[in-house]
Structure 1
Amino acid sequence: MSDDRESPPLRVPDELLDYDRELFYTYNGKGFTGIGYADVPGHGLSEISYVDGAQEGPSRDWYPSGQLKGESNYKANMLHGDMRDFRDDGSLISEKLYDHSVLVRSVTYDSQGNVVDHYEISESSPAFSQLRRLREQGG
């Protein structure tokens, strides 16, 4: 009888991962697929997902208390998707949306949850032109 369940991703301490100038991550000489983590006393836990040597998928940081500090997503070593930062009481500091590492939108909140800053990319922005080129090049 075979077991069709996926095995959990390989978890490796960050200090055991190697990387080059292009930020290609390896473990035991091969492109790393799994989760790199660091648990620094007094600073909390950090995890980054990798696929075939590139940052790919979720990245998360926690306060020493265990409360989520921040989360973001990567695609081919670029910020891509939602990013959120939290205070140590769990309240939301900011929400951002990245597309190919270009900031598309952000909202910042005060400690009562009121919006104190808002940004949305404009089609006339140089960053929008850069985003258009990146989308054409890589999907």
Structure 2
Amino acid sequence: MTLQRIDIDDPEVEMDAAQTFFYAGVPFTGEVVEYQRGALVSLITYKDGVEDGPVKEWHTDGTLNSEGTMRGGFPVGESKKWHSNGTLAARMVMSADGLRQLARAEWDEEGNLIKEWHAEGA
């Protein structure tokens, strides 16, 4: 099944105070993309107007900036962020319900671990 894909700058796009995403007045299900200077910089998946599915962001040069998964508006599982030079900057692990952070690690631009944290029992 192919998801509908729309541009964030489409005039039919709206978001309410609760951060529900609408397209043509209806809660949107599909992918929303954003471009800057002709380069794809973000792709967010929505279900019934709420972030639900893959989320990716790119630097304007096309290198990956971050990726993760949302469920019902909450980050779940593993997400990662990269420095502009391509080196891993951060890795976060969230619980399956998105309500609890289980682990986080951060690296500098040279790849040196600078912070690491794990929830007790995780």
Q: TM-score range by the shorter chain?
A: 0.7 to 0.9
Q: Which has the larger radius of gyration?
A: 1
Identity %: 21
Q: Distance in 2 between matches of 1:101 and 1:43?
A: 33
Q: Distance in 2 between matches of 1:30 and 1:44?
A: 25
Q: Does 1:92 align with 2:88?
A: yes
1:115 alignment partner AA: L
Deviation at 1:105, TM superposition (A): 0.7
Q: Distance in 1 between matches of 2:115 and 2:39?
A: 28
Deviation at 1:44, TM superposition (A): 5.4
Q: Distance in 2 between matches of 1:42 and 1:92?
A: 25
Contact 2:33–2:40 under 8 Å retained in 1:
no
Q: Does 1:9 align with 2:3?
A: yes
Contact 2:85–2:109 under 8 Å retained in 1:
no
Output the aligned Cα RMSD: 2.0
Name the stretch that deviates more: 110-119 or 45-54.
110-119
2:81 alignment partner AA: D
Contact 1:44–1:65 under 8 Å retained in 2:
no
Match of 1:65 in 2: 61
TM-score by length of 1: 0.74
Which residue, out of 11, 14, 19, partners 1:18?
A: 14
**Larger strand proportion of the pair:** 2
Match of 1:32 in 2: 28
Q: Does 1:82 align with 2:85?
A: no
Query: For 2:9, what is the secondary structure of its paired residue?
Result: helix
Deviation at 1:101, TM superposition (A): 4.2
Q: Distance in 2 between matches of 1:42 and 1:118?
A: 36
Unaligned segments of structure 1, at least 5 residues: 1-5, 124-139
Distance 1:9 1:21, change over 3 A: same
Contact 2:43–2:56 under 8 Å retained in 1:
yes
Match of 1:119 in 2: 117
TM-score by length of 2: 0.84
